[in-house]
Structure 1
């Protein structure tokens, strides 16, 4: 039995073949369909452990189970010091797909690019329900890797004309325009106050430390602003002020994760509105919300990774990209581990 392996070069070829826009559009479409169908199943909250004490580095695993069909597991390392100290991404991970009947490894893939794309796509799905359809100004608080795919995804569903960028690392903000040049949009580095005052949609995509939030003041926001809060992913880490959350409509992708390590840490379950999946399945629940402040607390959960891997496998099979290797030892005699085929 062979395993499909999609390495860095294969994933790059898939993006080149499909084009960035087509790949992002497909991811948005598939996530919206999965959310609308309420395909969450029994998706547990991610688990993990702290490593590299003092660096807030963690290693986590995120499983998704389709009974009788497949299991998808993402392992992901979060290391905020990576970009500056090692020139590596903050988020490094891999995706694995198992056959639910036999337990065999069906596919293994890079998880770095799929994570970035599916996170942007999830924000696009949420924003299309909660932000004003004519939103033109996007504000980004944090200008790292995730900010690129947030801008890309939102540009696919809104008539954006301007991107306002702020980062505590001036070099990150200064290089952002070059990294999103393919969008053909006006990008300006500004102070945080201008983002809060002018943006129709704000994405907070930071590596703010535990206990160091919030990164927004919540003052002088447009009365209809929609915020995608992406960065909160550890206990004690949050990006938005509690007063803003308490006054806003808040939807989440995964209630348990939000309450434990997302913006929901500052709230109770009763403070949360319908989950994103419920909004997708019943868009009438979002009626009237575009005129008020709304928040999507995006902690990222395993269904999104399952959909992302589905997309990569589909594109790989269509294009004949990827290596097929006999990775697992399947003995000639199933009862004798020392027999070889």
Structure 2
């Protein structure tokens, strides 16, 4: 039996043939539908991620994110967050792979890149949440953090709102200055601004930063539109936060995975009774979300493995449609299942 591999060349072909917009729209639609099913009580097991924190000259985390579809498969993403990667190693801040395992046999069914997948599904999750909670007439997007994740945040939101402009802030002036070129394909007007102005003048704000543990928030509480919606996607470690707790306590807060959000999301700053429902619940009950659109809302997005499972389904479906990927016998399946040495190669040599 062979494993289906999707690598860098396959992803490049996907982007070339179906395009960024179609890929993102498929991801948003599929993720929204699957989250709604989850919110209606669909069977799924997604424990909180676990892993290792790395200190020293290359700080960061390496984490395992599993999801189980009972009776079908297990999806596991291995992901690393290394904020010094772009400058020190020329690599993305987030690097990883994702695998699909057959539940009945444990065999490896598919293995794919997790870099593009994570960026696209994270943007799609913000689009799903914003479509529920943000003012439908929203036209100005604010971004705190102008790295790789900001690109797919802007892209995803442009697919569900008639955006015309972006205010962007970053502690690295070069990253902020270069952001307009990276999202030139969206045709939006981009202006560099200070975080306070981003908060005060945006309909939707996404925070996507590499702020170190204990040094947040990345934006001070202050004036903002009454209908402001915030997608906070950068809090992925215990003690790492992007939003001021005073803003959170005034807001209706929605989470993706409650266990993760209480431990390492913005919601770690809140008591349990201050945290609202999950995104899945709101997808299943959109009228409940609509009641909060005129007020301040926050999507506390820690990113959970259910999203990765859905995203892998999307990528595999596109790859199958385009005839992409490589089938390779990675696992050793001996001719005699009770004899690990029983291979054709050994018999030929003997």
Q: TM-score, normalization: structure 1?
A: 0.98
Counterpart in 1 of 2:104?
Answer: 101
Q: Equivalent of 1:277, from 255, 277, 280? A: 280
Query: Which whole-Å CA distance do the structure 2 matches of 1:270 and 1:197 have between them?
Result: 28
Question: Structure 1, residues 269-315: CA drift from partner, whole Å, max 9, x if none?
Answer: 11011111110001111132111100000000000000111011111
Q: Equivalent of 1:324, from 322, 327, 336? A: 327
Query: Which whole-Å CA distance do the structure 2 matches of 1:112 and 1:293 have between them?
Result: 31
Which is further off, 306-315 or 53-62?
53-62
Which is further off, 45-54 or 276-285?
45-54
Question: Structure 1, residues 60-89: CA drift from partner, whole Å, max 9, x if none?
Answer: 000000111010000001101111211211
Unaligned runs of 5+ in 1: none
Query: Which whole-Å CA distance do the structure 2 matches of 1:191 and 1:215 have between them?
Result: 11
Q: Equivalent of 1:143, from 139, 142, 146? A: 146
> Aligned with 1:216: secondary structure?
coil
Query: Which whole-Å CA distance do the structure 1 matches of 2:190 and 2:286 have between them?
Result: 32
Runs of 4+ in 1 over 2 A off after TM superposition: 51-56
Counterpart in 2 of 1:180?
Answer: 183
Matched, 1:62 2:65: yes
Q: Would you say how many aligned residue pairs link Structure 1 and Structure 2?
A: 341
Unaligned runs of 5+ in 2: 345-350
Q: Equivalent of 1:88, from 91, 99, 106? A: 91
1:21-32 alignment, distance < 5 Å: 21-32=21-32
Query: Which whole-Å CA distance do the structure 2 matches of 1:65 and 1:287 have between them?
Result: 31
Counterpart in 2 of 1:197?
Answer: 200
Q: Contact between 1:40 and 1:303, CA under 8 Å: does it hold in 2?
A: no
CA change 1:40–1:93 in 2 (3 A) is farther
Query: Which whole-Å CA distance do the structure 2 matches of 1:188 and 1:326 have between them?
Result: 50
Q: State the shift of 1:53 in Å.
A: 3.2
Query: Which whole-Å CA distance do the structure 2 matches of 1:325 and 1:110 have between them?
Result: 15
Query: Which whole-Å CA distance do the structure 2 matches of 1:307 and 1:141 have between them?
Result: 27
Q: TM-score, normalization: structure 2?
A: 0.96
Query: Which whole-Å CA distance do the structure 2 matches of 1:270 and 1:298 have between them?
Result: 18
